[in-house]
Structure 1
Amino acid sequence: MTLRDVAAYVGLSVAAVSRALNGHPDVSEVTRRRILRAARRLGYQPNAAAKTLVTRRSHLIGVYFLPGATPSRFSEPFVSQVVDGLLEGLSRAGYDLLFFGAGTADGAPSFLELASRREVDGAVFLGLRTDDPRWEELRRFPIPSVSLDVPIPASRAVCVGSDHLEGSAAVAEHLLSLGHTAIAMINGHTAAPVSWERLTGFSARLQQAGVHLRPEWVVSGDFTEEGGYQAARRLLSSAVRPTAIFAASDLMALGALRAARELGVRVPEELSIAGYDDIDDAARAVPALTTVHQDRRAIGMTAASAAVQLIEAPDHPPASRLLLRPELVVRESTGPARSQGRG
């Protein structure tokens, strides 16, 4: 069934039917509905290649999986639920997703090379790091782009994520309300802006209450469970140990819980632990983890909406950064402060 068949069925020109199906405003709504009914009745499906030639759009969005979110980690709750929202939002708008495994090894194609090869209309970056060797390329990246949590320097780009300053400040407020003053933080890595944002929001709220993070109690866990485990072991094996630990991701917090269990430190009786993200395992942990909830599906749908607006309304792009409000979720892993522990 072709466009010509639909045109013959409704008694209109091929050009008129094409304009109606492609949403041109010079077609009346009555005529458009008649043509759409006819197309459905006849089982007409537009030819994607022909549509691309007419509209100069592929209706493809390239999703770059980078070292922080590689295809092998697609099953992780944070990544999969963001992609789920992204897929739903873009599908509703008539776009398909094309996933790029864009590693950073020598000889890896440039961002633009991958995009040009498949003629994508837009790009979404997941797991981007500021130390990526192709970072400077983004300053000249001409394709409408959306990034998760990492603002990029491209001229047509939007960064989508949570308000990490607010979320981490809420954790600080919660620990302070429980009487904690000997507080440590397990942060991510320096190539992630969220590490700076979560540290800044957390330490600023503590300072307002007259509590200062000791430099030796701010350690890196690289956003991994093993990193959080090793960092917590160091903190809990020192001569003077904290009574509370804020880990900048739930994976690191789960590692900290394991370290405390192995060292015989009771949570929350002797040590409070809080995380960030509210992945599914946070509620299943023993004890269940206090954390900051990010609506990952909403983040994905917001990213989809931003990408579509950048492509279809270039004169009215969204704000350069779109932040969703996080929510503190208090569970069993945090409790009132006790006397400062000894290693």
Structure 2
Amino acid sequence: MRYRVAVTTIRDLARLADVSVATVSRVFNNPEVVSQETREHVLRVAARVGYQPNESARTLATKKSYMIGLIWDTDHRRPGWRHPFLQEILIGLKTALSERGYHLLLLATSEREDSDKDVYLRAVKRHNLDGVVFIDNGTRDPALDVLAASGVPCVSLDRPVSGPRTTYVTSDNVGGARSAVARLHARGCRTIATITGPVRTRPGAERLDGYRAELAALDLPYRPELVVEGDFYLAGGYAGMRRLLDLPHRPDGVFVAGDEMAVGALRAITEAGLAVPEDVALIGFDDIELAALVPPGITTIAQDKAGFGTAAATALVEMIDSAEDEAPPPTVLPTTVVLRGTA
């Protein structure tokens, strides 16, 4: 059923939703203090009648823009935007911020000079942003350090940051990698290799640390020739697996530090006429949708993708709402083993 009444004020909406004006105000200004049931009810009624909150009035009343900046390397030479895991993270982040009344604005600054260390801070001021989320791309950009030191609330994904109002969200990369190696060992694998992510990134480095730690715990030797650096993408996994299969004594188990690379590695194994997991067992990391669709299904270490967005949004809004120069502690999300056909 659709309402035929023209709704232009918050009082009209409150009457139609059978709630108080204060409740409607909270739904649009401070949704976290309203129960999910009430929030969804008010938003359903608002959608039916085409009600739009007065953003200008809300901004003046709260001195907030309700805009969050997203900083990620947008250089056209980098394929980062198409990575399925990061796409799912962004969806979770956008959803979590929207539930709290915030919008997400992409800050694309890839054409700047490297010496321009204030570029992000200027963008924040120009757009009157309440806070910023940035994603690790493996570089140590001085402009991000300047932004973090400025006092602007910042949350980083997979990258430690230092500043008065900064924190970060990451996964238990070390523990997840250890679980992967332990799973391969439990299957009977004794020559366990790894295709890492870029070791300049925190996830790439920590997953390699976890691989080495679990080998030591299992009293298996660390052999440098069994470690191939990848790039988190299909081609890197394919090329890395080809290198491992060319060894005089090929591995019987491989921990691949990203599912998209694991798909490429799986292709290389099957092209070599080998069976998975009988000849080579394989386990990935991330639990992207494709991992379940590629036969026989890639065993993987699942990250909490929705949890990334929720944790980042919660931490950022907490800092924005706080009058103090303080930040919540970093969030380390647990990982879980998802068993499928490759290991």
Task: Give 1:1-343 correspondences, 5 Å limit.
Answer: 21=25, 46-66=53-73, 74=81, 76-103=83-110, 106=113, 110-132=119-141, 134-315=143-324, 319-334=328-343
- Displacement, 1:242? 0.9
With over 3 angstroms needed to count, the CA separation of the structure-2 counterparts of 1:264 and 1:242, relative to structure 1, is same
Using structure 2 for the length normalisation, give the TM-score.
0.80
Say whether the 8 Å CA contact 2:73–2:108 is kept in structure 1: yes
Structure of larger gyration radius: 1
Q: Which one is further off, 129-138 or 260-269?
A: 129-138
The sequence identity of aligned pairs, in percent, is 36
SS at match of 2:228: strand
- Displacement, 1:155? 2.5
| Matches of 2:257 and 2:50, distance apart in 1 | 52
**What runs of 5+ residues in structure 2 fail to find an aligned partner?**
1-6, 12-20, 30-41
| Matches of 2:281 and 2:74, distance apart in 1 | 31
Using structure 1 for the length normalisation, give the TM-score.
0.80
Cα RMSD (Å): 3.6
Say whether the 8 Å CA contact 2:65–2:130 is kept in structure 1: yes
Alignment-mate amino acid for residue 328 of structure 1: V
CA shift digits 1:16-68 (9 cap, x unpaired): x99x95799xxxxxxxxxxx9xxx8x998553234323322101111113259
**What runs of 5+ residues in structure 1 fail to find an aligned partner?**
7-16, 25-35, 335-343
Alignment-mate amino acid for residue 88 of structure 1: T
- Displacement, 1:279? 0.3
Q: Which one is further off, 161-170 or 121-130?
A: 121-130
- Displacement, 1:86? 1.5
Alignment-mate amino acid for residue 149 of structure 1: D
| Matches of 2:50 and 2:193, distance apart in 1 | 63
| Matches of 1:296 and 1:84, distance apart in 2 | 9
With over 3 angstroms needed to count, the CA separation of the structure-2 counterparts of 1:67 and 1:244, relative to structure 1, is farther
Count of aligned pairs between the two proteins: 316
Say whether the 8 Å CA contact 2:75–2:110 is kept in structure 1: no
